[in-house]
Structure 1
């Protein structure tokens, strides 16, 4: 589709100014031609890129047994992503002892469904595998699995309640988490206790796996770290992306070491962490963020970026959901509006923040209201 978009304010090279831009063969072009659409009164911004989102879980598992074909859930996820301005999205799938929709078997089913939808989605749906590091007997199987499903981004997680287990106490919400995993609560507790008992074996196992994955070109991330020492340890193993650091100290250590920092957009929306961790807004003010991720709520990224724009300016705020994540993911063909790059963009009402259209590689993935009327007139 060839388009010639005129009249809108366009965010290019850090400057928002009225202008025009062309779209041809899925890329931006400076040339005119094709259907002319007057978007006066609206803004054209780079398409959004989600570094980490697990909101898809409610699409593939809305209720136990309700989703027989996960492909339907993947396609529903794409529709929600497009309706929230995403043109590229990393879907963060667990490979965890937690079981249920986060266990290895569920990861296999999800990755199979995701692969089956490739070529049918205009939104670029990418895969992140979140590996629970205490699964010591699964390291070889996980590495083989990651290679087979075409994953290139692995994040190391540790969700064991070590403090409670070390104190001999039952973790909170044990019954609920056990039922979600499909296990008897006592069986679930025994599994956690057994994994906790082998915790001293974990660092060496991680180092070996991280080295092998890095050698194969994987991007590697860590999750929820609290100390500068932890970040240094991860960096020394080639793990260069810090997801959701929980303290200023950890985020500052990441920045000092040249590592990427990903923060959660819901934290920005709320003005703070739901669990009492450091405020994402405070970290952003101090320049300690490269990318905002939707985390568990896809609408949060756009809302957070527009909220931040009032304080740090639209260019810097929008960079956190477009060019910033593109840089961390090594995607040099997107994240900005420039001739020759992928025509990934959104059309937004500057007065309300409402999304009027999303285009991925020059193809409309979402459109509504007055913007839709202008395109079809």
Structure 2
């Protein structure tokens, strides 16, 4: 058997529409063969009836930030931070990750603002040096209500790993913060502002939003299309938001906050993304629509781990176990095939001959999925 070939047998293969017992051959980093019969090759790896899934595809995670700033005012060396983040991705079964970095943060002392370029450079370094376990891409999150966002976007828009851009507006009275009272509670608690400081902060954000949001949204969307970059909306709440996103050619509707917005986005052909932590915790931590409700309506298309990488695989099996949930192949597709398709990656996300051998071996323990082994392009990374 060539050194570049591996055989996995006695596995439950999660295919597009069914789960079958069988074997899979990895050759030169790709899936070379699928068979419903067990392999008799003496060097075959016995999976002992575990599930074999495509590697997970993560479109939106700000997990990297916590490694660059593990505590307030504590900066971690960039390469070590990037490698620790990369290792957690692999251990969570995520073989393709769009690392989310944000421009236009309201707090100019935040890790998002101060470490933006360091995070991008560190990912480039570990990938170019052959140190990364998984495939890293960039997701640029654009806070359209901030004055510097368009300029910073243009500085970063031609980064070779950039593949997804999302348009956000976290200004008071908008989307996630339709309630001004909720906005005040959140930011006063987050930054420790006095009542008078908070009023100045709110007024500044309202002024910026009125001045910049619409123009930045329009111009950034146009420049994304010119570059062939996939575009995502963020926290759409109303039918008007959805119509605007559709007009701009949005492919992914990130975290719609209402059932009406989610259903309208799905009808318009946008892939509706919800947070896996929402599934695992049984609802939104901010009081928005529960992901489980969208599963029951059949309009949840993509899962994202968001802020907790291990939640992604857990959520897949949870929605497969819901009474009105998805069959396992459909549930798996929300974290593999569908996110890959949404950003134009046709070489991964499925167990099919000729595709990348990004694979995940999973064992159920008391209905909880445990990651046993992970392969990225045929190389075992966990």
Under a length normalisation based on structure 1, what TM-score does the superposition of the two structures give?
Answer: 0.88
1:213 aligns with 2:224: yes
Q: 2:184 maps to which residue?
A: 171
Deviation track 1:275-329 (CA, whole Å, cap 9, x = no partner) reads 2211111101212121100011111111111111123221111111111111112
Contact 1:128 1:154 in 2 (8 A): yes
Three-state SS of the structure 2 residue aligned to 1:269 is helix
Contact 2:68 2:115 in 1 (8 A): no
1:34 to 1:93, Cα distance in 2 relative to 1, 3 A? farther
Deviation track 1:179-222 (CA, whole Å, cap 9, x = no partner) reads 7xxx9997786455234214333213321221122111111111
Q: 1:369 maps to which residue?
A: none
Three-state SS of the structure 1 residue aligned to 2:314 is helix
Deviation track 1:247-283 (CA, whole Å, cap 9, x = no partner) reads 1110111111111111111111122112221111110
Distance 1:229 1:55 in 2: 31
Q: How many positions carry a matched residue from both structures?
A: 363
Three-state SS of the structure 2 residue aligned to 1:339 is coil
Distance 1:341 1:257 in 2: 29
Q: 1:344 maps to which residue?
A: 358
1:81 to 1:236, Cα distance in 2 relative to 1, 3 A? same
Q: 1:373 maps to which residue?
A: none
Distance 1:303 1:360 in 2: 20
Q: 1:313 maps to which residue?
A: 327
Three-state SS of the structure 2 residue aligned to 1:88 is strand
1:349 to 1:173, Cα distance in 2 relative to 1, 3 A? closer
Q: 2:344 maps to which residue?
A: 330
Three-state SS of the structure 1 residue aligned to 2:277 is helix
CA RMSD of aligned residues (A): 2.7
Distance 1:331 1:222 in 2: 19
1:188 to 1:117, Cα distance in 2 relative to 1, 3 A? farther
Under a length normalisation based on structure 2, what TM-score does the superposition of the two structures give?
Answer: 0.87
Q: 1:26 maps to which residue?
A: 29
Where do residues 1-377 of structure 1 align in structure 2 (5 Å cutoff)?
A: 1-30=4-33, 35-95=43-103, 96-118=105-127, 119-148=130-159, 150-162=161-173, 171-174=184-187, 177-178=190-191, 190=200, 192-201=202-211, 202-311=213-322, 312-352=326-366, 353-366=369-382
Contact 2:67 2:76 in 1 (8 A): no
What's the offset of the Cα at 1:104?
3.7
What's the offset of the Cα at 1:349?
1.2
Three-state SS of the structure 1 residue aligned to 2:339 is helix
Contact 2:68 2:75 in 1 (8 A): yes
1:167 to 1:67, Cα distance in 2 relative to 1, 3 A? closer
- After TM superposition, the structure 1 stretch with the greater mean CA deviation from structure 2, 233-242 or 170-179, is 170-179
Distance 2:113 2:259 in 1: 33
What's the offset of the Cα at 1:102?
4.6
For structure 2, list consecutive stretches of 5 or more residues without a partner in the other structure.
Answer: none
Distance 2:60 2:199 in 1: 29
Contact 1:222 1:243 in 2 (8 A): yes
Three-state SS of the structure 1 residue aligned to 2:249 is coil
What's the offset of the Cα at 1:101?
3.6
Contact 2:363 2:370 in 1 (8 A): yes
For structure 1, list consecutive stretches of 5 or more residues without a partner in the other structure.
Answer: 367-377
Contact 2:149 2:216 in 1 (8 A): no
Distance 1:170 1:19 in 2: 53
Distance 1:326 1:184 in 2: 45
Distance 2:18 2:107 in 1: 46
